[in-house]
Amino acid sequence: MSTRCPPEADFALMKAFMFRLSTVRAKLTVLVALSSLATLAALPVLSWVMHRQLLAQISERVPQAIRNFRLELRQQQRAISATSRQASRARELVEGLRLRNESDVGTALEAVVAAHPNVAMVAFDELGNRVAARGLDAPPPSTDEVPGLTEGLSGLAEMDDLRDVLVHGCDGQQGSPPAYMIAQHARSDAGSLLACIPIDHTYFDEAATRLGVEIALVDPAGKRITGTARFPTELLQGAVIGDETHPTIVEHASSLWALSRFAPRSLRGKAGDFSIVMALDVSDVRNIVRQNLMFAAGVLTLAALFSLLLGARLATTMSRALSRVNVALKHLEQQRYVHVEAVKTGDELEDLATGFNSMVDGLKERDKLRSTFGKYMTESVLEHLLAGKVQLGGETLTVSILFCDIRSFTTISERMNAHELVGLLNEYFTEMVAIILDEGGVVDKYIGDAIMAVFGAPVPRPNDAVRAVRAAIRMRAALERFNERLARRGIPALKTGVGIHTGEVVAGNIGSEARMEYTVIGDAVNLASRLESATKELGVSVLLSEDTHLLVKDVFNTRPISEITVKGRVKPVMTYAVADL
């Protein structure tokens, strides 16, 4: 057991520990601070996620408005087409076209215009000459003002439509907004009927009011033709406008817009494809998002400050609790068993101190047991027992067993009193046992003046037999030195015989649950004992069995002695002596 450190060492230890304590407190505080900073660092990410999510929800209105616009446009065109087709079959219109009667044809066209006030209707005879026109203030176009109209009309089959976009509108004048045209044949090839629908700002204003968006009509070159008054025209030049399903979010003049471009099939003509651009102002949504983010930032900042203060307090408490355990641990390293004064935290730290105290008590008791039982059994067996690796019943092992007995000890003991005899035996056992332990053997038991040692239990090794024989040789040399000391004290010299055999035994705790002893039993033990008894008759000091001889013949010089008959064995046993002696 180590001695207590001097006061200077204790002071140095506490000084080093206080530095570690401050380091632990600093690390815990930094950990809490990093958590708080991580919370604040998440604000930009939260801002981006909320911004994109809300804008995505709002931008869904643009595709919905586009779908509604397409539907209205389609329904309007179908209605005009159906009304025109019905009018082209009217008898008054057919007869009027054949007779080129402007009054009768005009009456038929007025019925269509009455149903669709924003449509201009024009009737042509079979030669393409205009007969009558109704609707809108400007005069409708002739076939000369509509490129390809005559060829298209001549190629129409009955019930089919000719559709196109008139770049210069229904009046054919430069600067007029485009118009959508539907042309049909009259019955019996009496002529043709043309419906012209102007696509002007009035049309877009009505649609924008219904759909809640801003609309612009863009020509094939990308230039705005017409649209609502609030539409951000500047964005048509610089911004990359998204499609129908993926609107583009653009900021312009402190406003945020969602833009989408699409080209209705009805706006595709011979002069090129016109397209519609829809814009949705989502500035109010952005402002709401910013307000929510500012509020969230304030709440998170307060939470971070609170958690930082609370974390610093907890860090101090935790470091104080750990410091007490650390101090006790330093004492424990020096085998000074002191208890920890637990910090009342009500959590695992308090349990740690309680558990540490229990561990200290256990180690203290274990050292006491080790110190006591170490005097009664070998260290390797003690370690095995304390580790719980040896159970009642034992296990089969191949070991080398050594028996060493003092010859004629009875004669010697008669000349000495009990105290002198015990002192002599203890001095002798001290010399012999030290050699056995040094060679890795286990002293199984003392049988009067005899020693029973086992090599290979509880943990077998490849060279157990070699170590057993080497131990016997060393024991003989030690005995000679021991006898020299006895001679100087006037005590007769001791003579010993050693028998060694290698074989299978059962090694383990033998006895009952109440009283056990770690030992080895089996025929190999009996044979080793018989070999030791035969050393006197054969005149050798160390006698080996054939099993041991085969394992050590390449290491030691041996010589055969003779076969002996052992009680309990039918077959004689060949014996060998160690020539090195």
Q: Look at residue 44 and tell me if it is in a domain.
A: no
Q: Do 442 and 325 have their domain in common?
A: no
Q: Look at residue 155 and tell me if it is in a domain.
A: yes
Across the strands, what pairs with 497?
405
Asked if residues 546 and 531 have their Cβ atoms less than 8 Å apart, the reply is: no
Spatial separation of the C-alpha atoms in residues 312 and 325, rounded to whole Å: 20
CATH of the domain at 516: 3.30.70.1230
Spatial separation of the C-alpha atoms in residues 375 and 340, rounded to whole Å: 32
Length of the chain: 581
Q: Do 68 and 192 have their domain in common?
A: yes
Q: Do 387 and 345 have their domain in common?
A: no
CA–CA distance from 84 to each of 38, 78, 108, 160, 185 (Å)?
A: 69, 10, 10, 12, 10
- 500 φ, ψ to 5°? -130, 130
Q: Look at residue 134 and tell me if it is in a domain.
A: yes
Q: Do 475 and 390 have their domain in common?
A: yes
Asked if residues 259 and 247 have their Cβ atoms less than 8 Å apart, the reply is: yes
- pLDDT at position 385 is 60
- pLDDT at position 157 is 42
Q: Do 446 and 521 have their domain in common?
A: yes
Residues ≥6 apart with Cβ < 8 Å to 333: none
Spatial separation of the C-alpha atoms in residues 552 and 574, rounded to whole Å: 15
Spatial separation of the C-alpha atoms in residues 95 and 83, rounded to whole Å: 18
Q: Do 289 and 277 have their domain in common?
A: no
**Closest CA relative to residue 399, chosen from 472, 451, 473, 459:** 459
- 315 φ, ψ to 5°? -60, -40
DSSP single-letter state for residue 146: S
Dihedral angle, C-alpha 333, 336, 337, 338, nearest 10 °: -100
For residue 177, whether the previous peptide bond is cis, meaning omega lies within 30 degrees of 0, is no
Spatial separation of the C-alpha atoms in residues 331 and 68, rounded to whole Å: 83
Last residue of a domain, one of 310, 345, 373: 373
Per-residue tens of pLDDT for the chain, all 581 residues:
333 444 444 434 444 444 444 455 566 666 666 666 666 676 677 777 776 766 676 667 777 888 888 887 788 778 878 887 888 788 888 888 888 888 888 888 888 888 888 888 888 888 878 888 888 654 555 545 454 444 444 444 443 567 777 777 776 677 777 887 888 888 777 888 888 888 777 777 877 888 788 888 888 777 887 888 888 888 777 667 877 777 887 887 778 888 888 888 777 766 677 888 888 887 777 777 777 778 877 877 777 777 777 767 776 777 777 777 777 777 777 777 777 776 666 666 667 777 777 777 777 777 766 665 455 455 665 666 666 555 556 788 999 999 999 988 877 777 788 888 899 999 999 999 999 999 999 998 999 899 999 999 888 988 999 999 999 999 999 999 999 999 998 888 999 999 999 999 998 877 776 677 778 899 999 999 999 999 999 999 999 999 999 999 999 999 999 999 887 778 899 999 998 66
Q: Look at residue 53 and tell me if it is in a domain.
A: no
Q: Do 19 and 87 have their domain in common?
A: no
Q: Do 542 and 394 have their domain in common?
A: yes
Q: Look at residue 45 and tell me if it is in a domain.
A: no
Classified as helix, coil or strand, 347 is: coil
- pLDDT at position 12 is 45
- 140 φ, ψ to 5°? -65, 160
Q: Do 312 and 406 have their domain in common?
A: no
Q: Look at residue 47 and tell me if it is in a domain.
A: no
Last residue of a domain, one of 373, 405, 428: 373
CATH of the domain at 221: 3.30.450.20
Domain enclosing residue 126, as ranges: 60-281
Last residue of a domain, one of 356, 373, 390: 373
Q: First CA to last CA across the chain, in angstroms?
A: 40
Cα maximum dimension of the chain: 169
Q: Number of structural domains, the chain?
A: 3
**Closest CA relative to residue 445, chosen from 478, 384, 404:** 404
Q: Do 326 and 412 have their domain in common?
A: no
Q: Look at residue 54 and tell me if it is in a domain.
A: no
The DSSP secondary structure of 495-506, one letter per residue, reads -EEEEEEEEEEE
Q: Look at residue 138 and tell me if it is in a domain.
A: yes
**Closest CA relative to residue 573, chosen from 544, 545, 543:** 545
- pLDDT at position 7 is 41
Q: Do 366 and 514 have their domain in common?
A: no
- pLDDT at position 2 is 38
User: Residue 20: how many CB atoms within 10 A of its CB?
Assistant: 13
Spatial separation of the C-alpha atoms in residues 302 and 22, rounded to whole Å: 27
Q: Do 501 and 538 have their domain in common?
A: yes
- pLDDT at position 525 is 94
> How many CA atoms does the CB half-sphere of 212 hold within 13 Å?
11
Query: Which helix H or strand E contains 94, and what residues bound it?
Result: helix 91-99
Asked if residues 198 and 206 have their Cβ atoms less than 8 Å apart, the reply is: no
DSSP single-letter state for residue 392: B
CA–CA distance from 87 to each of 81, 115, 138, 146, 184 (Å)?
A: 10, 12, 22, 22, 10
Spacing of C-alpha 382 from chain mean position: 44
The DSSP secondary structure of 287-343, one letter per residue, reads HHHHHHHHHHHHHHHHHHHHHHHHHHHHHHHHHHHHHHHHHHHHHHHTT--------
